[in-house]
Structure 1
Amino acid sequence: MSLGISDEQVELGDTLRKWAASLDPIAAARAAEGDAGAGFGDLWSATEEMGIAAIAAPESAGGGGGTLLDQAIALEAAAHELLPGGLLGAAIGSVLTGRPGRFGVQVRTGGAVWDGGTATEHLLLDEGGTLRASAGVDLTSRHARLVDGTPGRTDEARRRIAITLAAAEAAGVTRWCLETAVEYAGVREQFGRKIGSFQAIKHLCAEMLETAEAVTAAAWDAAASAPPAGGGDGGDEEQWAFAVEVARAICFDGAVDVAKSCIQVLGGIGFTFEHDAHLYLRRATTLRALVGPADEAAARLTAAAVQGVRRRVDVDLEGRDEAIRPEIRATAQRLAALPAAGQRAQLVESGYLTPHWPAPFGLGADPTTQIVIDQELGRAGVVRPDLVIAGWAVPTILSHGTDAQRERFVRPSLMGELTWCQLFSEPGSGSDLASLRTRAVRVEGGWSLSGQKVWTSVAERADWGICLARTDADAPQHKGITYFLVDMKSSGIEVRPLREITGEALFNEVFLDDVFVPDDCVVAEPGDGWRLARTTLANERVAMASARLTKSVERAVEIASTGALGPVDEARVGHQVALATVCGLLGVRTTLRALGGRGPGAESSVAKLLGVRSRQESSELVVELQGDALALLDGVDKTTGEALAADVWEQFNTRCLSIAGGTTQILRNVAGERILGLPR
């Protein structure tokens, strides 16, 4: 998905991409190769006529009167088509001066003047001096060097605007590289097959998607969080500064990585000068050089996080909450006034525990109502209990079960009177549920289940389990499976704990030996199990947007706050702050899509993949930061030993995240096929 989320933003980006493509910009860039004085005159005239570089300048000065996000969306679109000339410098200068112009801008003291070789005006940090234009690595731009002059000082506002708009260009480059690689993988054949069907290519493209979504989210947040021109409400300099450093840490390395992967997918043709892929790599590499090292941004993030700064994202409901908020706030306050022991029943009764579920167990709430309920419960200090597996089992019963099943199971589950486990995975099937071997045989009044399940959390104390079993051995794999509700106290069930790498036993093996399940505990019809296992309620949960740091990242920041880390490790902590923040931003963008009445974009699909990476990498970093202490646990004081033991437990425990709920490799296959459209 591109930077734009609203219909107007998406239309702006689409329109400008088509317009830029119509100019044949890459042909112009190739024609000017090696010409340091090339000004791309015809293209710039067309760009000025469209007013692209001045979208964020006031209308009274001849600009478009838009926001910095509008300007970023325009730059993303232009970079997608690699429009040459001085658009980036002109856009930065337009934002800084409040008027249109063809600007060259110096961002870093002593550094290059961005687009100085094609500009007619220059905004320099140095006083005076002579500029020398250069044909650099990027064939589509002409930057300049300040040959002499008196050094000035870095302008922080200028730096943030420049990084924000450069990140938008990085997002456009990244998007083109992803699309180009996927298109090629879908048509290029090797060994009689489309190369996109090869798992190695599919995974590489899925990894490109993950990076592209991270780049897009970070670039979007930097632009969206900027204070409005001229000050006023809606701006927070500290928050913008944090968002800009996240973008700097994520976007430019990300764009280079995706450009390199694009060439890898293209193979030999991608290595030729004839193909356009290297031009995008050149733009990405140059952008990274202009903004400076990502480690520098990461160190800034660590310093900010140590001082307590976290990215706070407020979702603008655009007034849609005004009519419903007073009543919801009053209800939340009444709930907060109740004794803790009585809150759950009233959460269930009011529908606030599961507002996205249909009445009478929820409110059938739309996304706006769900968000407002989250906000007001949070403001009142009311914490909703986690339904755990019941959160998966009960929606299936609500959607596909009988009235009797709903009456029997839904409210007791919401009240916490019933605990559920999931009997899906098997030793020989894992994520491949279609190959499961647990059998269900017809007997008088019901079914007899026999088989083995594994990796089953809380089976040792669960009251009921949702179970998939094969009821028709002759049917195709996906057709002969039935969805059962199994009483875990039934005769024939044996639960054996499995000790995990943490040393604890949270999982279990469950053996079923002629376990009787009555007909009234079959959900839907025999053979419907596969469909039920893959569906949820149509009115899905919309979570309140958040960009909180995860447990291990907070722990890494805590270690950094002691002052014991060197510059390299401080930067490593900052990179994890950036990644965790981006994972939260993916959720924010998904929430905004839901509020706009649109289905989830690619962000929701890659959020788990990036989230797993964040939690695993950060928990491992926490342990690494403590040196060889983990090899000497007996020799440290009790407090230090307990803290380190907890850190090691977290590192080991997070290894399950790339396995549970579908392995990372399987999910990348799914992303490649269902999102990117690659062949099976």
Structure 2
Amino acid sequence: MSLSINEDQRALADSVAAFARRTAPIADTRNEFDALSVGTCPASVWDALVRQGLHNMYLPEAVGGSDCGLPVLAVVVEQLGKAMFPGPYLPTVLTSAVAMTASNGADDLLAAFGGGATGALVSGNRLTARAVAGGWEVEGISDPTIGLPGAERVLVCAALADTPGGSLWFWLERADLDGAANTVKVAPCDALDLTRSVGRLELAGHRIPHDRALSGIDQGRVDLIVASLLGAEASGIAGWCVETAVDYVRTRHQFGRPVGSFQAVQHKAALMLVRSQVACAAAWDAARAAGATPDQQRLAAAQAALTAVPAGVDQALDCISLLGGIGFTWEHDAHLYWRRAISIASAVGAQDIWETRLGEVALHTERDFSFIVADSLPELRERVGHALDEVLALPDDEIPSEGWAPARGGSRRARLAAEGLTAPHYPQPYGLDAGPVEQAVIGDEFARRGLTQPDMGIAEWVLPTLVAHGSEEQQKRFVPATLRGELIWCQLFSEPGAGSDLAGLSTRARKVDGGWVLTGQKVWNSQAKEADWGVCLARTDADVPKHAGLTYFLIDMHAPGVDVRPLRQVTGIWEFNEVFLDEVFVPDDGVVAGPGDGWRLAVTTLSNERLKMGSAKLGHGSANMVRRLLDRDEYGSTRDEAMRVLGRNTARELSVAALNLRSVLQRLHGSEDTTGSLNSVQKVFHAIAQRDGSRAVVALLGPLGCVGSPEEPYVRDYLGVPAVMFGGGTIEIQLNVIAQRVLGLPR
């Protein structure tokens, strides 16, 4: 759980973490609370940080920096936040990073920061500037500002009284702040965060000469820097909290058992891990947006402000609740993290304002999560483009299916399969062995031509199992035909008495001459009515542990004894089915791998399912659904509240996409998810995001929510949420997986 992506960033993160532990252990910080509250950082701490070059690494080389970029700076901020590093580091780098965006007037200010000056950023709308001879005159009392007492340089934003929407950026130096002019005063406040100072800037007709003004600072870029760095620190806090809580509940005993063995505790700890990874992804996405367009920066900044920054607050409180009484004591460090989290969440600004901002920009802009450039892999791009142009020339003759099942066959689908473009990530001869970059290039070429990449439905999860574990005969028989759209598949795993507990299933298979005879009942089977073939898990040995006695069968869905009965859901639609197997014969070549290998193969199938579901955009409560509601005035609340819901739902959707992109880039940089945590985290958050997003839409409707016809899709969307709450393993089962397999909590 770190913002670092590549090997260099991981090495930097480790180095900064070790530096923080060595230079400013929390026990020493506790002895400095009084000095820190007035802005006096121990010289040994700040001087050591300056010697490491951490104070100016983001700055230009001309002032001693290394121009490392915002993503690298965020890695440092995260690690120092995780270590509760005291003093003015965060407000200083915030200020210098904002000053660096000025087009003119910042040279002296940046030189001071490059040399080790501390800083603070005073913004908001409480200061007013009026033009006077030789410059401006500024009045007002600022909001409480982190790091202001003790700062050697202060960058200030004041509203221009005579220019609506205009602002003046200027800077003050230590001589101004120490009272050289009686028109300036720094009023310290009682800081919530005991490791930093907080104060208000009071200006009473203070004169600002022209040479102290900065030009070209864009508020959108300021918001991005502030939100990404505060989000990075919140990510560090979230990481510390989950590690601390898990370490405690793993060893603390109550009622003769480790506290961490109780399911309620496990679920809370697992949700903390989910929250931590989501916060990390949101902060990372904001930092990487530094070179993007203004609209992209506004989306990313608001996402970090709404997702990453508040996560630290909730995470710290959950940490304290898992620690119990000891966590609520002054002596435990948890409250220091809680205080800092509340402080930075307050500093970033009110959530309803950020929700409105994100809603406004999301009305007309979507976040770009591409990670390739237009000229990436030109030879592949040319080859794929040529094939797709020929596909476009073919008739669009697919045969639509009912329900969720994909369309069948067609000349276009056959050509795509022949070119390896139906599933390009598959190994040859079925695909192109395409890695993430190759897949992105191929997807880009599809999009350029308005073509949708083929959807194989349930086969998206079945075929990887056959490719990995099937016999050569099974692969040749089923894989190419499925890629061509000639076969539709279903998955026969769940049972009325064994939903998420797959190993507890009761469908039996007994050995007969030439094959097996299966008897049992399956339920919640998507596409079973349209399917030609199904993959079925059945018990072939009742005398071994339940996981060991399962076998993975390929069943002809038209075979005698197979009875498919559609299930009508609360939506009124038949999307699932129940399947009865009455003495269904499956020949020996319908067994994948071998008898008893079923559980191992089922895990392969389910892991592909969970990754697919976790990487998709929101199906329920999507931003597009809120946009439709707004466009058609189909809401009973105020438009302002509807815009805030658009902001919140967009933030959830962006988090899903950011999690997925991080996983792709981590694989590209050799950081494999060996614990399997990412799939489960994505699945849990994806389901929660859809549940909460769809409920938020319904809450906007007022009396319109009484209508349930297909022409009013919002309530129907919410009624369909249970499908994502259960599919691929319930949220609760996924939390068990995270708690036990990832966090290592006892069973």
TM-score of the superposition, structure 1-length normalised? 0.92
Deviation at 1:167, TM superposition (A): 1.4
CA distance in 2, matches of 1:64, 1:318: 28
1:377 pairs, out of 440, 446, 451, with 446
CA contact (8 A) 1:118 1:143 kept: no
CA contact (8 A) 2:275 2:315 kept: yes
> Aligned residue for 2:734?
667
Structure 2 counterpart SS, 1:514: strand
Distance of aligned partners of 1:317 and 1:595 in 2 relative to their CA distance in 1, 3 Å threshold: farther
Summarize the alignment of residues 517-596 of structure 1 with structure 2, pairs less than 5 Å apart.
Answer: 517-535=586-604, 552-561=622-631, 565-596=638-669
Secondary structure in structure 2 of the residue aligned to 1:324: helix
In the alignment, is residue 281 of structure 1 matched against residue 321 of structure 2?
no
Q: Go from structure 1 to structure 2 and tell me whether the alpha carbon gap of 1:337 and 1:140 turns closer, same or farther (over 3 Å shift).
A: farther
Name 1:30's counterpart in structure 2: 30
Give the distance between the partners of 2:479 and 2:740, measured in 1 at CA: 35
550, 572, 582: which one pairs with 1:503? 572
Relative to structure 1, the CA distance from residue 375 to residue 22 in structure 2 (aligned partners, 3 Å threshold; closer, same or farther) is same
Q: How does 1:119-268 map to 2 (within 5 A)?
A: 119-126=151-158, 129-149=184-204, 155-227=219-291, 235-268=292-325
Which secondary structure does the structure 1 equivalent of 2:355 belong to? helix
- Contact 1:53/1:88 (8 A) holds in 2: no
Instruction: Name the CA shift for 1:37/1:383 in 2 (closer, same or farther; >3 Å).
Output: closer
Which residue is 2:431 aligned to?
362
**Using a 3 Å threshold, how does the CA distance of structure 1 residues 97 and 617 change in structure 2: closer, same or farther?**
closer
CA 1:494 to 1:558, structure 2 compared with 1: closer, same or farther past 3 Å?
closer
Specify the code of the residue in structure 2 equivalent to 1:580: E
Match of 1:77 in 2: 79
Q: Which has the higher strand share?
A: 2
Native 8 Å contact 2:302 2:355 kept in 1? yes
What is the alpha-carbon distance in structure 2 between the residues aligned to residue 619 and residue 448 of structure 1? 44
> Match of 1:66?
68
Aligned match of 2:104: none
Give the match's secondary structure for 2:732. Answer: helix
For residues 205 and 501 of structure 1, do their structure 2 counterparts lie closer, same or farther at Cα, with a shift above 3 Å needed?
same
1:104 aligned partner: 120
Percentage identity across paired residues of the two chains: 39
Q: What's the offset of the Cα at 1:549?
A: 6.4
Deviation at 1:632, TM superposition (A): 5.4
Structure 1 letter corresponding to 2:370: D
Residue 295 (structure 1) shift: 1.4
> Is it true that 1:39 corresponds to 2:40 in the alignment?
yes
The gaps in structure 1 that reach 5 residues or longer are 228-234, 634-640
Separation in 2, partners of 1:619, 1:268: 37
Alpha-carbon separation, structure 1, partners of 2:343 and 2:485: 57
User: What RMSD, in angstroms, separates the aligned Cα atoms of the two structures?
Assistant: 2.6
Q: Is 2:521 the counterpart of 1:452?
A: yes
Amino acid in structure 2 at the alignment position of 1:69: P
What is the letter of the counterpart of residue 613 of structure 1?
Answer: I
On the 8 A contact 2:517/2:583 being kept in 1, the answer is: yes
**Which one is further off, 596-605 or 357-366?**
596-605
Aligned length: 664
Judging changes above 3 Å, is the alpha-carbon distance between structure 1 residues 590 and 318 closer, same or farther for their aligned structure 2 residues?
farther
Deviation at 1:440, TM superposition (A): 0.7
Question: CA shift at 1:665, angstroms?
Answer: 0.2
Change in 2 beyond 3 A, CA 1:356/1:539: farther
In 2: Cα distance, 1:293 partner to 1:496 partner: 52
CA deviations on 1:358-389 (whole Å, 9 max, x unpaired) are: 22111222332222212212222222221112
Q: Could you tell me how far 1:317 is from its partner in structure 2?
A: 6.6
* 1:518-554 Cα shifts (integer Å, max 9, x gaps): 11111111111111111269999999x9996656321
The alpha-carbon distance between structure 1 residues 320 and 567, as it changes in their structure 2 partners (threshold 3 A), is closer
Closer/same/farther in 2, CA of residues 380 and 603 from structure 1, 3 Å limit: same
Q: Distance in 1 between matches of 2:607 and 2:341?
A: 41
> For the structure 1 residues 384 and 632, does the alpha-carbon distance in structure 2 shift closer, same or farther, using more than 3 Å as the test?
closer
Which one of 367, 392, 407 corresponds to residue 311 of structure 1? 367
User: Could you say if the C-alpha distance between residues 220 and 148 of structure 1 is closer, same or farther in structure 2, counting changes exceeding 3 Å?
Assistant: same
For residues 717 and 618 of structure 2, the distance between their equivalents in structure 1, rounded to whole angstroms, comes to 15
Post-superposition offset of 1:619? 2.0
Q: Deviations over 1:335-368 (max 9, x none)?
A: 3333323211111001111112122111222332
Q: Which position in structure 2 is the counterpart of 1:324?
A: 380
Structure 1 residues 150, 618: CA separation in 2 closer, same or farther (over 3 Å shift)?
farther
Distance 1:184 1:408 in 2: 53
Counterpart of 2:174 in structure 1 is: none
